[in-house]
Structures are given as C-alpha cells and as structure tokens.
Structure 1
Amino acid sequence: MKRILLFLATNLAVIAVASITLNILGVGSYITAQGLNMSSLLVFCAVFGFAGSFVSLFLSKMMAKMGTGTQIIDQPRTAQERWLIDTVQELSEKAGIGMPEVGIFPSPESNAFATGWNKNASLVAVSQGLLDRFSPKEARAVIGHEIGHVANGDMVTLALIQGVVNTFVMFFARIIGYAVDSFLRRDEESSGPGIGFYVVSFIAEIILGIAASSIVMWFSRKREFRADEAGAELAGRGDMIAALERLRAEYDAPSVMPATMTAFGIRKNGQGGLAALFSSHPALEDRIQALQAHR
C-alpha cells in the first residue's frame, strides 16, 4: 500500500511541477495545424523529463527508507551502532561533506547504499548482515565507498543524465507517433492526432526508454569505479580491495548471498552481452583489478 501511495504521490508531483512550469514558459500544445512544433515539443519533453528525474531525486531518501525498512540511528543503543555513527562521521569529515543520516536495514545480505539530493544532507545505510559478517576494516571500506558516492555528487549527476535521457526518449517517441499516425490517417480530412499517435508514442517510449537506459547504466558503472577509488582513499586501498573480495566470496556462496544483491554491485565476469550492458555496476573482478592497478 505504501509503495502504491508513494508512486501516485510522485506522479502527481511531477504533473503539478510540469503544469506550473509549462504555464510560466507559455508553452501550449506542441501539435498545430501545420504539424509538430518542435520547439514546444522539446520544451514539453524537457520539463516532464527533468521533473520526473528530480522529483525522484528529492524523494530518494524517503523512498529508500520505506523500501528497505531502514531504521535511522538517532541515539546509539549498542556498541555496534556507536561504531557505525563514529565511522560515518570520521569518513564524512575526511571527505569534506556534512554528516549524513545513518541507518541500518534488516537484511541478511551484505549490502549498503547512499542517497539524497544534497551531499550535506544525505543518507548512508548498511545492512545488518554486513555489520555482522564483515570485519570492522572491511565494513569501514564499504562505508567509505558509499560516502564517496555522496562526495562525488553521483546522485545529482545521474539525475541530470536521466533527465536528458527522459527528454529525448519522450521527444523522439512523439515524433515517431506523429509520423505513424499521419501515415495511417493520410486520406482523412480531420486535423489533430488520432488514437494511433497516442498508442504508437506510448509503445515507442517504452522501447526507446529501455534502450536508452543502457546509457544511464554506462554512466553508473563509471561512477562505481570513482566511488571505489574514493573508498580506497578514505579507508585504505587494501581494505577496499578486501571488502570487494569478501563480497565476491559471498556471491559465490548462494547460502550466504543470493544473486539478487545489487546495491553494492555484485556481478560476475562472464555475465556479458545484455546483462552487462544494462548492469548498474561493473563486475567485481574488474573493480578489484582497477584498484590493484593504481597501487
């Protein structure tokens, strides 16, 4: 229920932001008697494309907390929680960012994530499984990796990239929809788009969106290498490599780590082709080799 309500609230927010912005810009319909008004269409698509991306970014902390069941640590109650707070504070100061919110989510998997639209008001969370099984140095390296994402501004960067991708997906989908609809209705005298425009645009948007997501994933993989390097600088290169080695070992032990883990980037070499093209993280072997090459 919460997921559905959040989905509806996000879409309403996108519609509201887009409508207000379009009115301010004075952009009306992008379909005229002469055909498509490309300028109006591009602005329309940019507003909706970036609105959707940035509304999701601004809601990312709330969505992450709800989706993972993360419990924020306001006052540490255990030695483990105190260690986690102290470690995040130490590495955040070293990275030059504000102290993030810190949380633990109830998962047996070794996992962690960072999110938030502002590097000085972010969220860093780790799974209970990671805290239980990783050594303090390995866990510290994982936290350094996540703080590296925050310090590098990766959430905002990917939101911008997603906004550009959204814009052009919507733009070309509507051009395709208009072209197909015009061809199907070439003998009709009525003006304006028919049902074919909306159907074809919708289908084209899905197909183009899937294809274009590979661009976003490519950027995401590049940012993972940068976050690994940041983790190495913050927590030590040897400990960062050891953390990735531990993750690889757990991935190879299905009883410990199911193949669904993705937040910290578990993927084997050998998963090539489309699986690699649409993966948000590089293979662990590639990440380890990249860190070892810079020793």
Structure 2
Amino acid sequence: MGNIKVFALMAGMTALFGAVGAMIGGQGGMIMALVFAALMNVVMYWASAGMVLKMYRAQKITREQAPELYDMVDRLRQRAGLPMPTLAIAPHAQPNAFATGRDYDHAVVCVTEGLLDLVTRDELEGVIAHELAHIKTRDMLLQTVTATLAGAISNLANFGLFFGSQDEDSNPAAAIGMAILAPIAAMIIQMAISRQREFKADAVGAQISGRPIGLANALRRLEAGARAVPMHVSPAAAPLAQVNPLAAHGGGMRKLFSTHPPTEERVARLEALQSEMRMAA
C-alpha cells in the first residue's frame, strides 16, 4: 500500500468523524467534529508516546535496569541507522511488543514481561528489529493517530445515539444506524492501514536483523501466547502491538475485523525471504 492510499484512508476516517458530528449537530456539529479531529491529531503528535504507554501500563527503563535488552536494541538501532529509542516494559504476561512516538528522536520501543520470559535471543532480536522498522518507516505515529481516531469515532457515535439532535426532522433509525456502522467503518479503515504496515515492518525488520527466521519463529510464539494469555487493553490501542493482543478474548466479529494480518501469512513471507537471503549469500 503506497503513501497516497494511506493518506486517502486517513482522509476517509476524518470524513467519517465529520459525518458522525453532522448526525449529532447538523452542519455546525460536522464543523466542530472536524476541528476536534484536527486538534486530536495535534495532541497525538506531541503526546502519543505517553498516552500509549499509559494504555499498556508500561514503564520506561534505563540500561542499568535491563542491560542485555538495552545493548541489543542499541546494536540493532545502529544497523537501522536510527537514534537510540526510549525503552519500556509493560507488566503483562502475554508476549508482545510495540513502538510509538512522534519521530525518530522521540520513539519508544516497549516489550512485555511475558515476551522477555518466553522467546530466545534470536527471536527477541527479530521482534525488536520489527519494532525498529516501524520507527524507521514512521509507522508508529500513523498507527497511533488512526487508533485514536477510531476510538473517538466509536465514542462520538455512541454519544450521538443517546444525546443526538432532538429536532423534529431527526431520524432515530439513522442515528442507530450511524452508531452501529460508524465504528465498523472506522475499524475497517484502521484494519486496512495496519495490515499492510505490519507486512512492511516484517520485511524491513528482517533486513535490520539479517535473520528473517528469528522473527518468523517469534511470531509463532507470540500468536500462541496471545491466544492463551489474555491482555486487557483498549481495542483502539490493539493494532499497535506486534500480534493481536486481544486474540484470547474470543473469535467471531473480532477475528473478522482483526487489524493484524494472519500470522501464518506473515511467517510464510518471512520464510521465503530467508530462503532468498540464503540463495544470495
């Protein structure tokens, strides 16, 4: 997916936000919603890292607290040509990781306690390289903004259902339909952006680590761990994680609208990339 298509999807999500605002307050409501969306993007640009870390209850760490992890990230970020990101650990038993922040100099790489307890060194390198790839391609800001907009659309649609326009010309059926369809539409847009970005981060991360198979093996472990160990985090923040952290909360519609591509397909692509690298060596 090219940057132009991603821009179009983001524009569609913003327009959807405006449509929900119009349902609540007519033209004035639409204008206020669009202004609010713009303000949200500004706030998220400056405060995204702190807000996401709070969602995951993560704490920033220093080299003294985790020297092996710090040195691994330092080595890989040098290979990626990036400044040293801030490191954080989230107190979750589920193995997972994510990156956030507004730019190279304010990036954060976060891993869960469960990840550090589960994976091998090669697998951990693959996971870290994947997150550094998100930073290198500036995906962490894009995904944070889309996550925030998706959550705001859902909340605004629900607000409109219960506290929407009371004009005689208002249509209760339309309000109910918007409350149901707007969050689904936002989720679909978020899914379209996130899925392609994960594939790209896998490929770039494999180049950074030099061992695609490490990430492939890690993804298998993370997928199994996510299904077995629940993680309580906002659905809007779930796309930031390396694998779907809500996999243990059931299937049905959640699986249908997963913001992550199938792990089996990600692993297959990484294994093919590993074969290509061996042939080229």
- The structure in which a higher percent of residues are helix is 2
Q: Name the structure 1 match of 2:36.
A: 48
**1:71 maps to 2:56:** no
Cα separation, partners in 2 of 1:165 and 1:103, compared to 1, 3 Å: closer
Give the TM-score normalised by the residue count of structure 2: 0.68
Deviation at 1:45, TM superposition (A): 3.8
How far apart, in 1, do the equivalents of 2:221 and 2:67 lie?
A: 24
Superposition pairs of residues 124-135 of structure 1, within 5 angstroms: 124-135=109-120
Map 1:64-143 → 2, pairs under 5 A: 64-77=52-65, 81-143=66-128
Distance verdict in 2 for CA 1:104–1:166, change over 3 Å: closer
Whether the 8 Å CA contact 2:198–2:261 is kept in 1: the answer is: yes
Residues 184-218 of structure 1, C-alpha deviation per residue, up to 9 Å, x if partnerless?
Answer: 44xxxxxxxxxx48x78865653343122211111
Q: Distance in 2 between matches of 1:160 and 1:58?
A: 11
Q: Distance in 2 between matches of 1:169 and 1:69?
A: 23
More relative contact order, 1 or 2 (CA 8 Å, 6+ apart): 2
Offset of residue 141 of structure 1: 0.7
Q: Which residue of 1 aligns with 2:217?
A: 242
Query: Match for 1:226 among 181, 189, 200?
Result: 200
Q: Which runs of 5+ in 1 are unaligned?
A: 1-29, 31-35, 173-179, 186-195
Q: Does 1:283 align with 2:265?
A: no
DSSP-derived class of the 1:59 partner: helix
Q: Deviations for 1:48-85, whole angstroms, at most 9, x for unmatched residues?
A: 223224423432221233233322223414xxx11111
Equivalent residues, number: 240
User: Does the C-alpha gap of structure 1 residues 59 and 201 become closer, same or farther in structure 2, counting only changes over 3 Å?
Assistant: farther
CA distance in 2, matches of 1:168, 1:259: 23
How much identity, in percent, do the aligned residues show?
30
For normalisation by structure 1, the TM-score amounts to 0.65
Contact 2:44/2:145, CA 8 A, preserved across alignment: no
Post-superposition CA distance 1:116-165 (Å, at most 9, x none): 11222111111122112211111111111111111111133346667998
SS of the aligned residue for 1:55 comes to helix
Displacement after TM superposition at 1:234 (Å):
1.2
Rg (Cα) greater in structure: 1
Closer/same/farther in 2, CA of residues 142 and 201 from structure 1, 3 Å limit: same
- Cα root mean square deviation, aligned: 4.1
